[in-house]
Structure 1
């Protein structure tokens, strides 16, 4: 056996689904003589043959997988005699032993073809795989010949082994045996025999029921309903008949084994074959019921002609003449009825096929559009990503420049605005930190005109550690730290470490606040990237992979930004500036403010509204000249306040420029690195990385291939319809 490419097989052989029925008639030994078949006689009309050829072509190119096409399906209970009916119609030597049951679908296709007649078979697995069966062509192509019978039987055994293997006798398979007979006298017709229905207690109930439903749910199927002479109440096929939509018009019935009916069973059999349209007749069918005498197992070597003669002789005896409907008895009349029914059914079906095919094609286009462009090769991945990168780079530059007329109308896409808001919030939080860490000098620094109390009022008592929150003042805190860090300095000097200790304590939250800023901006960038990527491609899978890649790039940029922030934070402790003029100016302002605050307190305490503040300032300065340690505290406060503000402004700018702008928004930012040049470089140097971003999942590649296969089959169907002249016809059925 040889595994085949399904699409190539269908195109090369033009067969696939429709599986015609009817076999050839018994020839004489030594030569091929075609026997005129009853069902073939009804297909001689050229218009009918054209329609049958058209449907067969559609089956051959696999259209029935996507669009419901007309077909003839044989349905019945297990051991009801379906195989005998199939043999009688097709003239092929299927086994008729009651112990042999169909365990997998068999599709028999008869195709009109020039040249010598031939037979071929293929097993179609449920997964779509095709396995060609090797069949020796008989030297005499007669379905009645022993040679043909042997070849056909060997083919069935080969198929059974391929499909069932060593499975038990109750096992049913969804794999299908497709038999094709070609010849100049063959009509283009198909008949499908499926495993018989079994009771709900049977292990194969679900499989059998599923297979039957699969075929009869096609509204364009003609169902040949096969019943046996037993009690209809015990036959599942009659229950199935009730559930077939439009059953009266697309079902034709046959009762097999009429020669083996039970005593007294003729009443329901005769009534059913009479097919009178009465309310109480639940089995009435527009195309009627037929009775057959099956070939007996002992008649296996009886040829088709003798089989038909024996059947005709049987129906001339017993109760059958009383039926007074001879045209309802025998294979000859059944095949004639099937021919007319199939002709009429196909004529009615063709006009609706073209719209169905066009609708399926539109659905294919939509599904392909949802999948996006193919991305199986490096070139396809590069082209796809370059196109997206081109759009993304334009949008991201606009978003960073604050030019929002092309950017999606979403606040999160306005990157520059969001960054500015984050920086302003950072600046505001830092100012608030300054106000909390170095509060303004209050007007009640001095509480008495008595100079002996001024020291305690400003610096607290010797027992005050300067950390009492209720009576906290920055001057008390500074004095406490100065006392704790005394060295070899003179009385009027301050230890150089005091300023560093104070500033380090006051700026200890700067790094944490900057880190919060950094993470906030990162979140803003991530949201912006997502919006821009969605604007550049509608493919959800591609959006996800690109966002994951850009997020990893953002992680790298964030790490670099954090390293920069850590470096800036480590330099906070340097009490150092070259802005001497600004620094000294701020120091003077802060010192003067302290003196002025003390003078205002004294003026208020004196109750002398006519005295000037400057008079009291002179008194305060004179007192400080004699209290150098207090003056040192005031000077330290002034220098701390001045340097804090200068250093804080420098830190805010450095964070904004060196952390946010340089790293998060700079060249290493994913907002700027996702450019066509970067994609081309990746395609050349890191193809696997590009594939991980832009490559398609295997299941998506399979889905795309399946859709394209369907699309090609449907397009070929339209070409076939055009060839047959059915495209654009207002009424194909006329």
Structure 2
């Protein structure tokens, strides 16, 4: 009873695999037996012996397509013939081919010839060299399905593919047909769940058989290939018979499934029954020459069919769960791909909705990118360069540090770096270099940004005659009638000269920031919009022009801030300025006192009044003015620098590039989409032929995979 139940379970699984095969889902590898061999290898005779189905031998009726032959146990005896259309056939062709059905209770030679002729006609097969219609073909990728049913049949399915041939016979066969057949055979044997039945004539050198080389290429370990040796009655040489015997015995280069040997019926034997042929075969292998291998259950068609039936059942049971998992996985993948394409976009309303969703997705991801919420979107893990605020913050910090250490032309004292604030260490990295390369990747930015790399050099070293000599020169060229003071133009001139590095440093930093933002927008659009046509049209026809305007506004704001700080009259209402001036004067007094002090007998520091008089009171007017100019310049520079760096980072980068209402990151939004004209929508989001074909293919795949899942659930 248990064995019977097991047999029924096996039968049910094999039936499901056959039903899946009828769906012809090429992307799903199904367990199957595939028979292949060269023309005249005896392949047709082997198939006939295995299935009881005899292909007609009339001219023009040899195998021109894959043929699936299924034997099934049914109460009534009949043969059903149908066609499984090739994958990718248009709807009209598929319906026409699937409509072909032939059911016959008894198969006669004349009936079979008529059926094959009808099949060839509906498939568009050229049957003779006189068929010159260019729409006809010699071989087809459609599959002929033959079901042989009866009470004595056992479940057995095998797939026959056209015989390999190497030399075309124009005009009937061409080089294209040679390649087509090779590709067809290769398609079937590449399937990792296929058992390859390589039919090889015994009377030729096995090592020269191309079909065995093809099988070895598809199955390098030989784990799913079985050799079937035919025509042993044509082997007359003892050495050749010994080589054949050694193969069956498992000697020499061996396939994991080994070799079987069968005897074909002779070319003149056209009337014997299957049982008579089996008897003749058994008598042949009982002869002394073959008796050594006769008891190995590898001789004769009966042994071969038993082994193949067991192999097919075992591989089907083993692979069935994996087949089911593959179908489920591919169905989910196809659904995701179709969902990512959005709804069909033939109407303007659908086009607007599609773009609107893209815009909303763009803004949602961008808010996460600006707020640093990188755990909320998988995109940030897949494309780390989308972490925009991280890159911008790192660049701003480096910009501020560079501005602190190198932004001035001359140090204004020998201990400039120790003036109240500690200089930040400049971390040397490739951020600037890689960001500069981004600018070169986007030619649409070249007339807006500074594409030349700018490296801010160290300030000139302080010497006694450097900054003071410069101040003296400016003072002498610009002095007025003031007594004990100096004009604002002198401070402006010295400040402008001291800040001459600011412009290239700021413009280079803003340009690099624009490069980061532009690259972010481009990459994010690529990630959320898989349709290349939509992506390219949206970028070229709408976004680039608007983005250029936003970047130009940011660059103009940077230049505006430079003009205010460097070209305008020095001005501040920050009390920090006066505090710095007083500190400079106090510092200068402390230096004088320190230089003139001495220790008395009680180890107390004393300063002679005369020294104070000479150092503080008895100064030349010009020297006092120069020192005052230096103190004011140094103090105002510190105030201006702090204010300027914050303004650049907050206004130009923060407002104009990141978060302002006219930021480039705000351009692609649902509001932009709502303002597009119908012709713009059609140009950007209308589906081209390739997209429509892709959508149709995905929908067809989903239908087939859903049908496959339904088969598995029954």
For Structure 1 versus Structure 2, the TM-score category normalised by the shorter chain is 0.5 to 0.7
2:404 equivalent in structure 1: 428
| Kept in 1: contact 2:550–2:656 (CA 8 A) | no
Matched residue of 1:433: which SS? coil
Pairwise CA distance, 1:76: 2.6
Change (3 A) 1:470 1:422: closer
Pairwise CA distance, 1:665: 1.2
2:371 equivalent in structure 1: 397
Change (3 A) 1:184 1:645: same
2:111 is aligned with 1:153: no
Change (3 A) 1:144 1:117: closer
Pairwise CA distance, 1:552: 10
* Number of residue pairs aligned between Structure 1 and Structure 2: 607
1:611 equivalent in structure 2: 609
- Report 1:501-512 matches (<5 A): 501-512=493-504
1:8 equivalent in structure 2: none
2:711 equivalent in structure 1: 720
Pairwise CA distance, 1:352: 1.5
- Of 643, 662, 679, the match for 2:669: 679
1:25 equivalent in structure 2: none
1:59 equivalent in structure 2: 21
Change (3 A) 1:315 1:499: closer
- Report 1:564-713 matches (<5 A): 564-571=557-564, 572-577=566-571, 579=573, 610-613=608-611, 615-616=613-614, 620=618, 630-631=621-622, 634-635=624-625, 638-639=628-629, 641-642=631-632, 645-646=635-636, 649-650=639-640, 652-657=642-647, 659-666=648-655, 668-669=657-658, 679-685=669-675
Q: Distance in 2 between matches of 1:587 and 1:320?
A: 117
Q: Distance in 2 between matches of 1:282 and 1:594?
A: 98
2:209 equivalent in structure 1: 236
TM-score, normalised to structure 2's length?
A: 0.60
Pairwise CA distance, 1:255: 2.9
Q: Distance in 2 between matches of 1:476 and 1:316?
A: 117
Change (3 A) 1:183 1:210: closer
Q: Distance in 1 between matches of 2:109 and 2:628?
A: 122
Q: Distance in 2 between matches of 1:246 and 1:511?
A: 69
- Of 160, 169, 190, the match for 1:193: 160
| Kept in 1: contact 2:327–2:705 (CA 8 A) | yes
Change (3 A) 1:539 1:368: farther
**Structure 1 residues not aligned, in runs of 5+:** 1-44, 401-406, 442-466, 625-629, 724-734
1:353 equivalent in structure 2: 319
Q: Distance in 2 between matches of 1:610 and 1:267?
A: 127
| Kept in 1: contact 2:363–2:666 (CA 8 A) | yes
- Per mean C-alpha deviation after superposition, the further-off stretch among 586-595 and 674-683 is 586-595
1:176 equivalent in structure 2: 141
2:38 equivalent in structure 1: 77
Write out per-residue CA displacement over residues 96-154 of structure 1, whole angstroms, 9 at most, x where no aligned residue: 66x98656544445787999976444563799997655998889876436465245235
1:15 equivalent in structure 2: none
| Kept in 2: contact 1:54–1:721 (CA 8 A) | yes
| Kept in 2: contact 1:361–1:711 (CA 8 A) | no
Matched residue of 2:567: which SS? coil
- Higher Cα Rg: structure 1 or 2? 1
Change (3 A) 1:383 1:160: closer
Change (3 A) 1:63 1:563: closer
Pairwise CA distance, 1:429: 3.3
Pairwise CA distance, 1:269: 7.1
Write out per-residue CA displacement over residues 490-514 of structure 1, whole angstroms, 9 at most, x where no aligned residue: 9999888655444433333333343
| Kept in 2: contact 1:381–1:691 (CA 8 A) | no
**Structure 2 residues not aligned, in runs of 5+:** 1-6, 170-174, 344-350, 375-379, 417-459, 599-605
Matched residue of 2:314: which SS? helix
Write out per-residue CA displacement over residues 691-722 of structure 1, whole angstroms, 9 at most, x where no aligned residue: 99999999999999988877776665554344
2:264 equivalent in structure 1: 292
2:550 is aligned with 1:560: no
Q: Distance in 2 between matches of 1:238 and 1:711?
A: 35
Matched residue of 1:436: which SS? coil
Change (3 A) 1:352 1:570: same
Q: Distance in 2 between matches of 1:318 and 1:339?
A: 18
CA RMSD of aligned residues (A): 6.8
Change (3 A) 1:283 1:221: closer
2:506 equivalent in structure 1: 514
| Kept in 2: contact 1:594–1:634 (CA 8 A) | no
Q: Distance in 2 between matches of 1:652 and 1:473?
A: 25
Pairwise CA distance, 1:669: 0.9
Q: Distance in 2 between matches of 1:248 and 1:499?
A: 89
Q: Distance in 2 between matches of 1:280 and 1:586?
A: 96
Pairwise CA distance, 1:664: 1.2
| Kept in 2: contact 1:123–1:175 (CA 8 A) | no
Change (3 A) 1:128 1:435: same
Q: Distance in 2 between matches of 1:161 and 1:365?
A: 34
